[in-house]
Amino acid sequence: MLTLQVFAPAMGQKSPSPFAMKAIALMQMSGLDYQIKPGDPRKGPKQKLPVLIDNGKSISDSTHILAHLKSMHGFDPDKNLTPEQLAIAEAFRRMVEEHLYWVLVHSRWVENGDIVRDVFFAAVPSLMRKFVFRMVIKQVKSALFGQGMGRHTPKEIYAFGAADLQAIADYLGDKQFFFGDAPTSVDATIFGMLDSIVTPPLDTELKRAALAHNTLKAYHQRMSDHIDLAEL
C-alpha cells in the first residue's frame, strides 16, 4: 500500500499546501491504491512535505513522486504530450511552483499571519504560540527575501501573482484541461496552487485575482470533480 504523507486538513483544504494538493491530485489521477496520512516535515528526507512512502522507501518532492509513479507504477499522465507541450508544461510548472508560490506565501504568512498562526500552530499552547510563530515567521520572511519576492511592495507582489494567473487563464482558454480533454501532470500542479489560493477562508488580493477569472473558477471545480476531491 502506498502512503502519501501531507499536512493535516486545514482551512477547508484536504491539505493546506499546493504541493500536497498536487500530489493528492496525481495519486487520485493514477487510480493506484493509496492512503493519505498526516506527516511531519521534520521527519522527512528533505524536511518538506509531501512524501510518498512506497514499500519502506520515502520519496520526497512532488516532482520526484510523479517520476516514481511513472517509473515504478506505470502511471504517466503526460504520455500523449508532444515535446512542445512537455516544454510548455515545464515552463508553467516552474512559474507556478517557483514564482506564484511565493505570492501565496506572502498572502498567507505576511498578510494573514494571525490567522495562519492560530490554524497551523493550534496544537502549541497559546502562551508558547506567539513565541514559536515569531521564530517561524522570521524564517519565512528571510526565505521570501532570499528568493527575491519579499523585496517588493505588496502591490508589486500581487501584480506578479495576477500576471501569472492571467497567463494560466489565457493558455487554458475554453479547453477542459491544460492540453485538451484529458488532464496531465501540469493540471495537477495548477490545481494544487489554485486550491490553495481560493479555498482557504482568507480575503487576499491573490484570491480575488484568481476568482476574477471565470475560466479558473470553472477549471478548479472541474479538477476537483475529476479527482473526486469531495469523496476524500
Ligand X SMILES: N[C@@H](CCC(=O)N[C@@H](CS)C(=O)NCC(=O)O)C(=O)O
Instruction: State the DSSP H helix or E strand holding residue 191, giving kind and residue range, or none if neither.
Output: helix 185-198
Contacts of 94 (CB under 8 A, 6+ apart): none
Considering the rule CB under 6 A, would residue 15 count as an interface residue with ligand X?
A: no
* Least distance to ligand X, CB of residue 135, Å: 12
CA distances from 37 to 4, 7, 9, 10 (A): 6, 8, 10, 14
**Which cell is 162 given?**
495576477
Instruction: Residue 51: count other Cβ atoms within 10 Å of its Cβ.
Output: 26
CB of 48 or CB of 129, closer to ligand X: 48
Report the site for ligand X in 52-81 (rule: CB under 6 A). 61-63
Collapsing DSSP to helix, strand or coil, 103 comes out as helix
CB of 135 or CB of 230, closer to ligand X: 135
CB of 58 or CB of 215, closer to ligand X: 58
Judged by CB under 6 A, the residue of 50, 77, 161, 183 near ligand X is: 50
**Which cell is 12 given?**
477547508
Considering the rule CB under 6 A, would residue 195 count as an interface residue with ligand X?
A: no
Q: Output phi, psi for 190, to 5 deg.
A: -70, -40
* Least distance to ligand X, CB of residue 173, Å: 27
* Least distance to ligand X, CB of residue 10, Å: 12
CB of 83 or CB of 123, closer to ligand X: 123
Judged by CB under 6 A, the residue of 19, 34, 177, 179 near ligand X is: 19
Residue 134 CA to residue 137 CA, distance in Å, equals 5
Q: 43: exposed, middle or buried (C-beta count within 10 Å: 0-12, 13-18, 19+)? A: exposed
Considering the rule CB under 6 A, would residue 48 count as an interface residue with ligand X?
A: yes
Considering the rule CB under 6 A, would residue 176 count as an interface residue with ligand X?
A: no
Residue 149 CA to residue 158 CA, distance in Å, equals 10
Considering the rule CB under 6 A, would residue 222 count as an interface residue with ligand X?
A: no
CB of 91 or CB of 218, closer to ligand X: 91
* Least distance to ligand X, CB of residue 159, Å: 23
Please give the residue ranges that form the binding site for ligand X (CB under 6 A): 17, 19, 41, 47-50, 61-63
